[in-house]
Amino acid sequence: MRNYVVAIDDYINKGLQVTVFGEGKPEVLITAGIHGGEVTGIYTSRLLMEYLEKHQLHQGSVKIISICNPTAFRRMERTSPYDNLDLNRIFPGNEKGTLTQRIANAIWQESLSADFIIDLHCCGVHGYSYTLAVWQEHESARQLASMLDIPLIVQSGGAKGQLFVESCAAGRPAVIIELPGGGQGGVINEKAGLEAYNALIGLLGQLEMLKCEVVKPSPTWCDKLILQRAGFEGLFIPKTSSGQTVVKDQVLGIINGIELKSPCKGTLTSMRPMGYVFVGSPIGNLAPHID
């Protein structure tokens, strides 16, 4: 009998690449790719790394983990094929757990010294950029969100086990930036990625970590997203688009000729394109404005 293994170099990496620019306080942690296919955020974090390679920080440090979920990234999917756990529902993780639980624990350990945490995600290819924060409960998260030049700040439902939710609960201000992109195959929205990159540069300017022109952002404050669903089966034709601000009772779209109206004033953070929908199918997400 002969028994042997033919080695195949598959280039699959399970380790986390952590890059730190500068040193000391304040310390800003940028994470991306916690959901492997949400690649606009990965693109943004890499743009920032290129910038910080060429521009020295005036004070403090920026720690960047561009690909927080390497095996999920390799598949361009939300979760790792090793255990299919959602990395952003299991923080602070478990150092003795499965791969994703151990990754959560490793990222958590890296986050303990951070003064500000920005976690980059994607809200789908038909999405629109917004900052997601538990801003109504945490004043420090509200302040951090207000320093980011992203058009909307949306109140989070605060689901347990998310890095930004658990960090806020532990006293470290943290927010998510949701960016258009991701989806099947991992689509980068270049424009949104660049806007988020500029928002991060602007944040570092306001924290006096970079010497640059500082413009105070003026985002729109919103309550929790309201998911719009199809009430019946049929052909959906949108009458609005992602990023559009709508008033109460404005027609968002029609299904078989019947109007689907907005429940209140707000901005659409997503709107599905024309297509066939079924009872309960998601149509779009509305961020209600807080006046």
Closest CB 65 distance from Zn ion, rounded Å: 14
Least distance between Zn ion and beta carbon 34 (Å) = 6
Could you tell me the smallest distance in angstroms from the CB atom of residue 37 to Zn ion? 9
CB-CB contact of 253 with 241 (8 Å): no
- Vertex 25 angle, CA 22 and 26, to 5°: 100
- What is the chain's alpha carbon radius of gyration, rounded to the nearest angstrom? 20
Does 126 help bind Zn ion (rule: CB under 5 A)? no
Contact status, residue 269 vs residue 127, Cβ threshold 8 Å: yes
182 C-beta neighbours (distance < 10 Å), count:
27
Nearest-5° Cα angle at 281, 234 to 241? 85
Nearer to Zn ion, 68 or 114 (CB): 68
Q: Could you say whether residue 142 binds Zn ion (CB under 5 A)?
A: no
Q: Residues 224 to 253: which contact Zn ion by CB under 5 A?
A: none
Residue 41 makes contact with Zn ion by CB under 5 A: no
Q: List 229's β-bridge partners, or say none.
A: 282
Query: What minimum distance in Å lies between the beta carbon of 111 and Zn ion?
Result: 17
CA-closest candidate to residue 106, choices 145, 65, 151: 65
Whole-number minimum distance, CB 25 to Zn ion, in Å?
A: 28
Cβ neighbourhood burial of 285 (10 Å; 0-12, 13-18, 19+): buried
Minimum CB–partner distance for residue 144 and Zn ion (Å): 18
Considering beta carbons, is residue 27 or 38 the nearer one to Zn ion? 38
In angstroms, the CA 27 to CA 185 distance is 33
Q: Which is nearer to Zn ion, 35 or 63 (CB)?
A: 35
SS3 200: helix
Complex with Zn ion: residue 63 or 121, whichever CB lies closer = 121
Q: How many residues contact Zn ion, by CB under 5 A? A: 3
Least separation in angstroms between CB 130 and Zn ion: 13
Q: Which is closer to Zn ion, CB of 38 or CB of 195?
A: 38
Select the span of 28-36, 155-163, 190-198, 264-272 touching Zn ion (CB under 5 A): 28-36
Residues in contact with 82: Cβ distance below 8 Å, sequence separation at least 6, in sequence order: 71, 98, 99, 100
CA distances to 23, 242, 265 from 260, in Å: 53, 15, 14
Question: Does 35 sit near Zn ion (CB under 5 A)?
Answer: yes
- CB nearer Zn ion, residue 7 or residue 159: 159
121 binds Zn ion (CB under 5 A): yes
Residues that bind Zn ion (CB under 5 A): 35, 38, 121
